[in-house]
Structure 1
Amino acid sequence: MCWGLIIEKIFRLIGLKRQVGALEAAAKGAALPSGSGRGYADAILSAGQFERQVGDDHNEGPNDIRLRVERAMRGAVRGELKRIEAGLPFLATVGSAAPFIGLFGTVWGIMHSFTAIAQAKDTSLAVVAPGIAEALFATAIGLAAAIPAVVAYNQISVSLGRAAERTNAAVHRIAPRFSNAGGVAATSA
């Protein structure tokens, strides 16, 4: 389950990077991206377009419309990122709990070794080895689960933070385009 979540997040981050790039290009004057209406950039731009229309309906001035649009687009950024972040707490939990589960298995395996020593009244390798092997296996399983989860959690968190910064910078530059007379034309990117 952990690996499935990691792979799903990697694919979402690849798509997110592409969408953020489209928003950054639009911030530099390129045509605003428009696609299926379900993507990250589409959700953000739709929020801006909707608020521009509301501002027009209320006969607001260009500056008020720009502020309204930027606030709505930033809200859409937060909402979209929250959707993409779903599942990250699970990775954090696995990363922090798995070593302790492995430690529990280690203690259990060593207890088996001591029990075997007591029953056999012998400390030979043949008596001790199965419990020690069990202990080492439990430790390895705990670490095998924890290490990828922690690395993935940290990398995904950093990537999402960077995407948020880049998107908010693009939103700040795109919002004034919505306050122009007639709004903004969206074209396929």
Structure 2
Amino acid sequence: AETDRLAGRLNFLATVGSVAPFVGLFGTVWGIMDSFFNIGAQQNSSLAVVAPGISEALFATAIGLFAAIPAVIAYNRFSHRVNRFETRLFRFADRFHATLSRELEQ
């Protein structure tokens, strides 16, 4: 029950780690679409027209990565710790059961 409680708290990190890149990708697509819209509206493809949308796209990508990378690292680290803790609990339970069984047999 304790390991389930600990592992249940990892769901948020797993969700952020898996969803954040797609949010960043959506922002990237949105920024590029904005650039194309501006090109069409102004009939000009100069850097001054394209740059704001591209910068928004790059910023959205960066935000997605800045959220996803630490979340994945933290998830992996905490998941490993929960697994290690669960293994220790099982070993303790096995040793305790064996000791208790020997004591009861005597």
| TM score, norm. by length of structure 2 | 0.86
Aligned pair partner of 1:139 in 48, 61, 69: 61
Structure 1 partner of 2:74: 152
- Structure 2 residue matching 1:150: 3-state secondary structure: helix
Runs (5+) with no aligned partner, structure 1: 1-78, 182-189
1:86 shift after superposition: 2.2
**Number of equivalences:** 103
**Identity score, percent:** 56
CA distance in structure 1 between the aligned counterparts of 2:50 and 2:63, rounded to whole angstroms: 20
5 Å-filtered alignment, 1:151-170, equals: 151-170=73-92
CA distance in structure 2 between the aligned counterparts of 1:164 and 1:143, rounded to whole angstroms: 31
Letter in 2 for 1:80: E
RMSD between aligned alpha carbons?
1.8
1:171 shift after superposition: 2.1
1:177 shift after superposition: 4.7
Runs (5+) with no aligned partner, structure 2: none
Structure 1 partner of 2:37: 115
1:178 shift after superposition: 8.2
CA distance in structure 1 between the aligned counterparts of 2:101 and 2:79, rounded to whole angstroms: 31
- Structure 1 residue matching 2:84: 3-state secondary structure: helix
- Whichever structure has more helix as a proportion of its residues is 2
Structure 2 partner of 1:172: 94
Letter in 2 for 1:111: M
1:161 shift after superposition: 0.9
CA distance in structure 2 between the aligned counterparts of 1:120 and 1:87, rounded to whole angstroms: 50
